[in-house]
Structure 1
Amino acid sequence: MSSAVLDPPAVPALVVGTVAHTRHRPVHHAFRYRAYQWLVDIDDLPAHRGWRRLVSGFSAADHLDGGRLGGGLRGDLQRFCARRGVPLAPDDQVLMLANARVLGYVFDPLTVFWVRTADGRLRTVVLEVHNTYGERHGYLLDLDEAGRGSMDKEFYVSPFNDTRGRYAVSLRLTPGRVVVGVGLEREGERVITAVTDGTPRPATPRAVARVVRRHLLMPQVVTLLIRLHGLRLWRRLPLHDRLTHPKEAVR
């Protein structure tokens, strides 16, 4: 457990900003787009009324073990962390940065769970990576005082990368800014850099309406962009066979 005190924004919040992705080698390819995510307390999820419920849905089925053994998101996260030697206390707060379901659909390339003790210290962080094949993988991450950590790559995300390499992670969670940076490094070289950078805003009904109008069908757009950029890389990069992924990686 880190001795750093975590000072997060008030939740629920809409984190509005950009997603930038750069492939450095063996070919260069970069893109950036405007986006938003939700920052929520998994024990106090948003409860909007009317049409806003259609664009702010959260379900344990979309994360980790899918709620298989009960207890919702928290139950799954508790079991995941305990199996890796980090038991959660009953009064720990868990903040989740994720996309919400929009018209019943969601895709989350990366979900971040911050576990915060009752006195505000960071107990641990869980990164959950999703691919477009309907699979997901959880990583338990230890951060230093500056919010940096690393972990071996264990999950097949795209046909343009195998599971070799190591991720360098940098996280920032403050009242004025939320940043998630992930870099894939292999044999001492940076292969990919992905950064989500946004400003948290209280998720009032008016704010939800405004953001949703500006970013129509956000999860659907994310999936479409991934596939379009994949097509652009299809003939420029070697392809790697997809590996079977064990479900134990999220349990």
Structure 2
Amino acid sequence: MTARLAYTTIDHVRHTPVRHRFRYRSYSWLVDLDDLPRLPRPLRPLARFRADDHLGDPDRSLRENIDTFLDAHGIELPGGRILMLTSARVLGFVFNPLTLYWCRDRTGTPVCVVAEVHNTYRGRHRYLLRTDEHDRAEIGKQFYVSPFNDVSGRYRMALPEPDDRLRLSITLHRDHPVLTASMTGECRPATTRAILAAALTMPLAPLAVAARIRVQGLRLWLRGLPVVPRTVSPIEEPSR
């Protein structure tokens, strides 16, 4: 498989206690961890994939770190493919609210999905997800992400592995839906022309995402949504 760019529309809807919605366009990379893209030297500042931008040992590869995480949960994928959806480091900056890893065994059978979440406080956490035949999974929230939500409730996710289309959604539930985030779009080969076009039309995409999150947080605060004090769980790992 060759690397692809996923041209995305990200939609956030807060259902309660105030109704708030925002939408923006961006792009992500869809890559095989055993076949990371080798960009021409002039393009490398526009897309770098570094182990220390994710959880695990920064001196090991992305593949080795995911294998180690899976092994800790009793899962082995010798020869199996791991497909990663993430934002690359662009001109030295990276911010990944969510990185997804679709894991298959050597026969190509889907085994699990790993969701790696980063918050704006430089904390990181991974969820191991066992999706059903409809590519859906549910898991309790364990990690503080938003200053307007405590660590309670359950995530309900739809995470089909991308093909030419990307169709993902995550909803935080308590007694009712609290927040829904979706990512949809098209996946196309990461050609030199496509990489340059993405960098020109959506410059510094990771920085723009981080800025949008903070701006929307400020808007919610100005609307009177109370801030929930941050709790740091023992499972949370800081960025290096």
Question: TM-score, normalising length from structure 2?
Answer: 0.94
How far is 1:169 from its partner? 0.5
In structure 1, which of residues 20, 28, 31 is the aligned counterpart of residue 19 of structure 2? 28
Cα distance in 1 for residues equivalent to 2:180 and 2:187? 22
Cα distance change on mapping 1:122 and 1:249 into 2, 3 Å: farther
Identical-residue share of aligned pairs (%):
44
1 CA distance for matches of 2:162 and 2:49?
23
**Matching residue within 104, 123, 142 for 1:135:** 123
- Which of 154, 158, 167 matches 1:170? 158
Query: What SS does the aligned partner of 1:192 have?
Result: strand
Is structure 2 residue 71 aligned with structure 1 residue 82? Answer: yes
1:79 Cα deviation from its structure 2 partner: 1.4
Cα deviation, residue 50, structure 1? 3.1
Match of 1:193 in 2: 180
Cα distance in 2, alignment partners of residues 223 and 42 from structure 1:
25
Where has structure 1 moved over 6 Å in runs of 4 or more? none
TM-score normalised over the length of structure 1 = 0.90
Shift in alpha-carbon separation, 1:64–1:12, aligned structure 2, 3 A: same
Instruction: Return the alpha-carbon distance in structure 1 between the equivalents of residues 155 and 33 of structure 2.
Output: 26
Is 1:150 aligned with 2:138?
A: yes
Runs of 5+ in structure 1 lacking a partner? 1-9
Tell me, yes or no, if the aligned pair for 1:94 and 1:113 is still in contact at 8 Å. Answer: yes
Could you tell me how far 1:71 is from its partner in structure 2? 3.1
Residues 174 and 75 of structure 1: CA distance in aligned 2, closer, same or farther (over 3 Å)? closer
| C-alpha distance in 2 between matches for 1:18 and 1:113 | 19
Provide the C-alpha distance between the structure 2 equivalents of 1:88 and 1:130, rounded to a whole number of angstroms. 25
Partner residue of 2:47? Answer: 56
3-state SS, counterpart of residue 175 of structure 1: coil
Q: Distance in 1 between matches of 2:34 and 2:125?
A: 22
Report the 3-state secondary structure (helix = DSSP H, G, I; strand = E; otherwise coil) of the residue aligned with 1:111.
Answer: strand
Q: Which residue of 2 aligns with 1:96?
A: 84
Contact 1:128 1:136 in 2 (8 A): yes
Deviations 1:84-115 (A, max 9, x none): 222222x0111100000000110011000011
Secondary structure of the structure 1 residue equivalent to 2:159: strand
Partner of 1:7: none
Residues 1-16 of structure 1: matches in 2 within 5 Å? 10-16=1-7
Gaps of 5+ in 2: none
| Structure 1 CA distance for aligned equivalents of residues 8 and 147 of structure 2 | 28
Residue 191 (structure 2) pairs with residue 204 (structure 1): yes
3-state SS in 2 of match to 1:173: coil
1:120-157: CA deviation from partner (whole Å, max 9, x where unpaired): 21111100011001111100000011100010000000
Q: Root-mean-square deviation (CA), in Å?
A: 1.5
- Kept in 1: contact 2:77–2:106 (CA 8 A): no
Deviation, 1:17, is 2.2
Kindly state the Cα deviation for residue 45 of structure 1 after the two structures are TM-superposed: 1.1
Q: Quick one: distance in 2 between partners of 1:228 and 1:134? A: 18
Contact 1:138/1:249 (<8 A) preserved: no
Which of 112, 116, 135 is residue 104 of structure 2 equivalent to? 116
TM superposition shift of 1:248: 6.5
In structure 1, the partner of 2:228 is 240
Structure 2: which amino acid aligns with 1:134? Answer: R
